[in-house]
Amino acid sequence: MNSPMNTTEPAAASASGCESPVETDSQKQLRQFVTMLTLRLLHKCNTVQSRTKEQWVAHTKTLVSQTMEGLTVTGNFCPDAKDMKKVCKAVQKDLQKRYGSKGLLQTVILQEETF
């Protein structure tokens, strides 16, 4: 038999904001894809080498979280390595067009306050 305490605890946790949202398998796969894509892009733009491990890990988490906010998972998501390479090249090319050079792109990526 459930006690009244058991039925109110989840609501209290949700109201307090302490409960983390549950991700579906598709959302987890998308987050992994975005994380790997972000790391690959940071490496290709030579931004990882200029930061400490703690800095680039924190920066990657920020970039992934902000990217995930703008994405919607529809249906099943099953990326592979070929998709990652293609998407990374497309994103890098788009960013270089937007910001001009690789050096400027590196500077923009490293400025966390712009995100």
Is 73 inside any structural domain? yes
| 67 against 7, higher pLDDT | 67
> What pLDDT does 115 receive?
42
Note whether 66 and 115 are within 8 A (CB). yes
42 in any annotated domain: yes
Residue 84 counted as domain residue: yes
Closest C-alpha among 95, 97, 99 to residue 87: 95
Does the residue 101 lie in any domain?
yes
Residue pair 43/91 in contact (Cβ under 8 Å)? The answer is: no
| Band of residue 109 on the pLDDT scale cut at 50, 70, 90 | low
81 is a domain residue: yes
Domain presence at residue 2: no
Domain membership of residue 44 as a residue range: 21-114
Domain count, the chain: 1
57 within a domain of the structure (yes/no): yes
pLDDT for the residue 8: 38
- Asked whether 110 and 51 are in contact (CB, 8 A), the reply is yes
Residue 8 in any domain: the answer is no
